[in-house]
Amino acid sequence: MERWLALSAILIPWLGAVIVWWAGDERPDAVHTIAAAIAMTAGAASLLLIPRVGDEVVFALDAGVFFGTFTFLLDGMGVFLAAVACVIGALAVIFSVDYMRGEHQLSRYYALILLFIGAMVGLSLTGSMLLLFFFWEITAFCSYALISFYNDDPKAVAGGLKALIMTQFGGIGLLIGALVVHRVVGSFQIAAFLGGAGSIAPDVLAMMAFGFLFAAAAKSAQVPFHTWLPGAMEAPTPISALIHAATMVNAGVYLLGRFYPAFEAVPGWKTAVVLVGVISASLAALMALVSNDLKRVLAYSTISQLGYMVYAVGVGSVFASQFHLLSHAVFKALLFLGAGAVIHIVGTRDMREMGGLSGKMPFIRNTFIIGSLALAGIPFLNGFWSKELILEAGLEGGAMWAYAIMLIGAGFTALYTFRMVWMVFYGECQTEKHVHDAPMFMGIALLVLALGTMTTWLLAGPFGDMLASSLPFHIMHIETTWNLVKTILSANATWLAMMVIAVGIACWLGRERLVPVVRACGFLKKAAEADFGFEALNRSVVGAVRWTADTLSVLQSGMLSWNVLGIVGGLILTLFILAWGV
Amino acid sequence: MVVTFLMIGVVLAAFFAILAKRLLASTIWLAVLSALSAALFYVLGAPHVAVIELSVGAGLVTVLFVFAIAVSGGEDAGGPAPIPTVVAIVFGLGMMALLAWFILPIEAPEVIGEQMSFTQMLWEGRALDVMVQLAIIFSGVVSVLGLLGENVDAMPFARRKEGDA
Amino acid sequence: MSLDMLDLVALAVIGVFGAGIYGLLAVRNLFKMIVVLQILVKAALLALVTAGNRSGELVLAQSLALTVIVVDTVVAVVALALAVQVKHRTGSLDIQDLTRLKG
């Protein structure tokens, strides 16, 4: 039974992708319905997997000596990420029914979303590192194709290409790591690697650890690879919610969490992880504070929160990072979908042209505020519990300077969140357009996510249980939900964080009085607007890749014979080297 | 001996297939090549593959080729190639020399494993292969239907976009 | 099955493969190119069965050869469909005229 559930969670979306593509563009209503139905079925299948978590392999296919065995396991971390991907995927598809009404080429859109959902489930459930890489690359392709969905808009195409090139650099790190594992341990299985990590030579292990960190940082848009995520905001907003907030960017954190037992002993690795997390969290928070584009603020906020999750892994608490991953997926998807609803209705992404919308779209305002409170870490929403857990873990397990910076970062998070909410919903109304509240399907998606934001923290105990019982190599300290609540409420760290957040909110409310301070930090503002120089760096990397491609295109004469000559020449050369080596 | 005859026949058929001036002649030589290699398979002790190769290679593929050539108007296949012939011959001989160095003399350890029957091996030992074959056949059918469909436009999406814009 | 006979067959494989490589480079018509692809695959099949004969694993070799034949046939079918469409749209099957992928 488990085997078929696991396989169907991957294959149903993929089958749906083929069906939707076949339905074509002539029948948009059929396409909407089929896509929503398939997405919801996949969501149900993934939720049915949760009670069946265990640590044995549920499906194994022997693919010969070179590819190892293709295995799928149902352990806690994998099933959790798969369920997040499917459920939020289903909600994003439902949202798209209203958002993409009247758009062209819907079959391509939905087919790519369903392909992505299936690949994400495959990524989380697989136990073979080769298959992990395979699914990783499929998600990268879907992300690129969906960012460039409006392919007649040069900004969208450029954003998609930038995302693709940068995440592919990371993918190289993953592939090299997988191949090195196979060489040293003899198998592609993750369990074999985690069990045998003690016997690998330290420098090889160090190379793999940093290679994986590289791949995870590129995928999760951490510094210095973070500039692709703001550029990916050209995608339709449900895509931003699904891929760039709730699922694909979490794959990097998932990678770090899964391989943590093997790498924690590598000297300097944990410090590097903490450093990456801290820098990303703080720089991104500053960049969110100065941005005027609603989706960009959310993108920087995503980078910042992912920095918190990476930091949690670095200080040793994989549970805290996964718990924050759950909370963040829910509230960030809520924020993105809410922002999408606002953008769809008002017609612009610039927050300076919004304002005063509170009275005209009460439903969106309410759900958006719930999400924002969760992001800022206000008590009793899921963001509060998970962020406090991370900060506590940081206090116990990590360096003091890192903890201090993350604490201040929490204050900045509250600051930019309140700024965002105020600029969109309160103040003077800057737009002339006729605005209305959310249409039905958008409203359904927003409502479900808002309810989730208010309740997912209750799952902390069972979630911890599920993780601890099914991951044989991870050492976790888990408690019941009630114990967790008591611990967090009574910890000093919590009250410290509350004070910092209150300071953050006070800064926003008293912003007129802080104007001289803001002016003094003007240089910081300019630096933040310029992405602290990383944008220029990454633009030059992407530019170099494209220049190389353009120059080499001279070799593409279009003539079959010359291409074949090249192929045959290469073949002879390779065979010659092989024969000589043997 | 039979094997020598078959061997020479196979090599000659390959060369004539390439050097033939007319497309139909080329196809007939391909059929001859298929038939001779099927015989060679049988002599080497692989009767199942011999039968399949004979019916598919000398039968199905030849008929397909003739049909395709007829549909598109058979014509002469002559003319000098864009690449100088000398280069092609050098590459061909180079590859042959490399292969000879690589695989001659044929040595392999005698593997005495459990002797399954052909069907048993196919369905149990190579089950993954069979599944992949099915997938490939399915995608081949879909591709051909798409390629030879009635209302196939060169770039349907572009046309639709232009039509709407 | 003496050693000499297998070496003869190996020579045949080499000969056919060399003819195929020459054909890849020297052929000008698209249909003939597809013929050349078929020739290359026949050479590979011969090599497979020869190896099977020598090592005694004929059953495994035949299963693999069956897979190769199926895949090769599907490739030939799709390639022929493509070639027919190329002729239909551009009116020419000459490789020199089909350079739209330039640059």
Q: What's the gap in Å between the CA of A143 and the closest CA on chain B?
A: 20
Kindly report, residue by residue over C18-40, the tens digit of the pLDDT.
Answer: 999 998 888 888 899 999 999 99
* Cα B10 from Cα B7, distance rounded (Å): 5
C-beta of residue A246 within 8 angstroms of C-beta of residue A327:
no
Other beta carbons within 10 angstroms of residue A290's beta carbon come to 18
Average pLDDT over residues C40-49: 93
Residue-level pLDDT at B13: 94
Query: For residue A317, what pLDDT is reported?
Result: 86
ipTM here:
0.90
Q: Is the pLDDT of residue A555 over 80?
A: no
Q: Determine contact: A561 vs chain B, CB below 8 A.
A: yes
Residue among C100, B49, B38 at smallest CA distance from A557: C100
pLDDT band at B11 (very low <50, low <70, confident <90, very high): very high
- Asked whether residue B41 is domain-assigned, the answer is yes
Subunits that touch chain C (at least 3 Cβ pairs < 8 angstroms)? A, B
Verify whether the Cβ–Cβ distance C83 to B72 is below 8 Å. Answer: yes
Q: What is the rounded distance in angstroms from the CA atom of residue A455 to the CA atom of residue A2?
A: 28
B98 in a domain, yes or no? no
- In terms of pLDDT, which residue wins out, A428 or B92? B92
Compute the distance between CA of residue B37 and CA of residue B49 in angstroms, rounded to an integer: 10
How sure is the predictor about B9, in pLDDT bands with cuts at 50, 70 and 90? very high
**Does residue A308 register a pLDDT over 80?**
yes
Rg, C-alpha atoms of chain A: 24
On whether residue B57 sits in a domain, the answer given is: yes
Does pLDDT of B165 surpass 50? no
Tokens of A493: 């760290």
Judged by a CB distance cut-off of 8 A, whether residue B16 touches chain C is: no
Distance of CA A77 to the CA centre of its chain: 15
Task: Report the 10 Å Cβ neighbour count for A536.
Answer: 11
Interface contact B149, partner C, CB < 8 A: no
**Helix, strand, or coil here: B135?**
helix
Q: For tokens 């799952």, what's the residue?
A: A459
In the predicted model, what is the mean pLDDT of residues A81-90? Answer: 90
- Please check whether residue B101 touches A, CB under 8 A: yes
Residue the block writes with tokens 């070639």: C83
Residues B123 and B75 in one domain: no
Cα end-to-end distance, chain C, whole Å: 53
- Verify that B9 and B67 share a domain, yes or no: yes
Backbone angles phi, psi at B74, to 5 degrees: -60, 140
CA–CA–CA angle A254, A59, A186 (5° rounding): 70
Task: Phi first, then psi: give them for residue A173, nearest 5 degrees.
Answer: -60, -40
DSSP summary character for residue B77: -
Asked if the Cβ–Cβ distance from A568 to B95 is below 8 Å, we say: yes
DSSP structure string for A436-452 = ----HHHHHHHHHHHHH
In this prediction the pTM is 0.79
- Chain A CB contacts of B101 under 8 Å are 579
The total of other beta-carbon atoms located within 10 Å of residue A133's CB is: 20
pLDDT of C67 above 90: yes
Window 35-74 of C: residues touching B by CB (8 A cutoff) are 35-36, 38-39, 42-43, 45-47, 49-67, 69-71, 73-74
Nearest CA in chain A to B92: A568
Has residue B159 got a pLDDT over 60?
A: no
Determine contact: B102 vs chain A, CB below 8 A.
yes
- Banded model confidence at residue A74, pLDDT cuts 50, 70, 90: confident
Q: Quote the number of domains for chain B.
A: 2
* Per-residue pLDDT, A176: 86
Whether pLDDT at C2 is above 70: no
**How confident is residue B153, by pLDDT bands cut at 50, 70 and 90?**
low
Query: Mean per-residue pLDDT for A132-141?
Result: 91
DSSP-assigned letter for residue A531: G
Percent of chain A scoring above 90 in pLDDT:
11
CA separation (Å) from A68 to A60, A88, A107, A387, B69?
10, 32, 35, 39, 44
**Which of A120-124, A190-194, A518-522, C85-89 has maximum average pLDDT?**
A120-124
One-letter amino acid for residue A565 of the chain: L
Judge if B6 and B75 occupy the same domain: yes
User: Facing residues of A61 across strands?
Assistant: A70
Give yes or no for residue B157 having a pLDDT over 60: no
Count of alpha carbons within 13 angstroms of residue B69, beta-carbon side: 24
User: For residue A554, which residues of chain C lie inside 8 Å, CB to CB?
Assistant: 103
Residue-level pLDDT at B78: 61
Query: What residues of chain A lie within 8 A of the CB of B164, using their CB?
Result: 104
Interface test with A, best of B132, B157, B159, B162 (most A CBs within 10 A): B157
Residue B144 and residue B75 in one domain? no
d(C-alpha A566, C-alpha A211), whole Å? 33
Contact (CB<8Å) C19/B110: no
Classify A283 as helix, strand or coil: helix
The least confident of A152-166, A405-419, A488-502 is A488-502
Q: Domain segments of chain C: what residues?
A: 3-97
Q: Which of A144-158, A243-257, B78-92 has the lowest mean pLDDT?
A: B78-92
Q: Which residues on chain B are in Cβ contact (under 8 Å) with C99?
A: none
Q: Which residues is A72 bridged to in the sheet? A: A59, A126
Give pLDDT, residue B112: 65
Do B13 and B36 touch, CB atoms closer than 8 A? yes
Phi, psi of B22 (to 5 degrees): -110, 150
Nearest residue on chain C to A549, alpha-carbon basis: C103
- The residue type found at A41 is T
The distance between the two most distant Cα atoms of chain B, rounded to a whole number of Å, is 72
pLDDT, tens digit, for every residue of A162-190?
889 888 888 888 888 888 888 888 888 88
- Give the Cα separation of A29 and A9 in Å (integer): 24
Across A526-553, average pLDDT? 81
- Domain C3-97 falls in which CATH fold? Helix Hairpins (1.10.287)
Token pair 């509350």 in the structure block, residue: A498
A419 backbone dihedrals φ, ψ, rounded to 5°: -60, -45
Q: Which structural domain range is residue B160 located in?
A: 119-165
Contact C99 A564 (CB under 8 A): no
Between strands A57-62 and A69-73, the pairing is antiparallel
Q: Which of A472-481, A502-511, B67-76, C89-98 has the lowest mean pLDDT?
A: A472-481
> Based on the number of CB atoms within 10 Å of its own CB, is B29 exposed (0-12), middle (13-18) or buried (19 or more)?
buried
- Whether B27 is covered by a domain: the verdict is yes
Q: Please report residues of B whose CB lies closer than 8 A to that of A572.
A: 91, 94-95, 98
User: In this predicted structure, what is the pLDDT of residue B163?
Assistant: 44
Residue B113 falls within a domain, yes or no?
no
Which DSSP letter does residue A57 get? E
Q: Which of residues 545-574 of A touch C (CB under 8 A)?
A: 553-554, 556-561, 564-565, 568
Q: Residue A228 pLDDT more than 90?
A: no
Last residue of a domain, one of B51, B79, B107: B79
Instruction: Give the one of C24, C28, C102 whose C-beta lies nearest to A558's C-beta.
Output: C102
Q: Determine the pLDDT at residue B161.
A: 47
Instruction: Return d(Cα A433, Cα C76) in angstroms, integer.
Output: 59
Are the C-beta atoms of A493 and A388 separated by less than 8 Å?
yes
Q: Do A572 and B98 touch (CB under 8 A)?
A: yes
Cα A446 from Cα A444, distance rounded (Å): 5
Of A271-280, A557-566, B108-117, the range with the highest mean pLDDT is: A271-280
d(CA A446, CA A452): 10
* Chain centroid offset of residue C8 CA: 20
**Mean pLDDT estimate for chain B:** 82
**Per-residue pLDDT for A399 more than 50?**
yes
How would DSSP label each residue in A6-62?
HHHHHHHHHHHHHHHHHH-SS-HHHHHHHHHHHHHHHHHHHHHHGGG--SSEEEEEE
Cβ under 8 Å to B: A residues 35-64: 61-63
Interface test with B, best of C4, C39, C93 (most B CBs within 10 A): C39
To the nearest whole angstrom, how far is the Cα of B163 from the nearest Cα of chain C?
A: 21
**Residues A325, A309 contacting (CB under 8 angstroms):** yes
User: What contacts B3, CB < 8 A, 6 or more positions away?
Assistant: B40, B43, C5, C8, C9
Q: Which chains touch A (3 or more CB pairs under 8 A)?
A: B, C
Q: Helices (DSSP H) in C1-103: which residue ranges?
A: 3-26, 30-55, 58-90
B68 & B129 share domain: no
Q: What angle do CA A497, A502, A508 make, to 5 degrees?
A: 130
Contact A558 C33 (CB under 8 A): no
Query: Are B74 and B123 within one domain?
Result: no
Alpha-carbon torsion angle C67, C68, C71, C73, nearest 10: -120
CA distance A217 to A211: 10
List, for residues A468-506, the tens digit of each pLDDT value. 777 777 777 777 777 777 777 777 777 788 888 888 888
In a domain? residue B90: no
Q: Which of A280, A284, A286 is nearest to A300 (CA)?
A: A284
Which of B87, B128, B162 should be substituted to probe chain A, the one whose Cβ sees the most A Cβ atoms within 10 Å?
A: B128
pLDDT tens digits, one per residue of A23-70: 877 778 888 888 899 999 988 888 888 888 877 787 887 777 778 888
Mean of per-residue pLDDT scores for chain A: 85
Check CB contact of C98 with chain B, cutoff 8 Å. Answer: no
Name which of A553, A554, A560 is nearest C98 (Cβ-Cβ).
Answer: A560
Domain boundary among the residues B57, B79, B101 is at B79
Let me know the angle formed at the C-alpha of A324 by A318 and A325, rounded to the nearest 5 degrees.
85
Q: Can you read off the two tokens belonging to residue A554?
A: 């001279």
- Distance of CA A235 to CAs A89, A333, A408, C46, Å? 15, 14, 32, 52
In 3D space, the residue among A286, A290, A262 whose CA is nearest the CA of residue A204 turns out to be A262
Please check the confidence at residue B122 and state whether its pLDDT lies above 80: no
pLDDT given for residue B79 in this prediction: 64
- pLDDT score of C3 more than 60: no
Cβ <8 Å between B95 and C11: no
Contact A259, A194 (CB under 8 A): yes
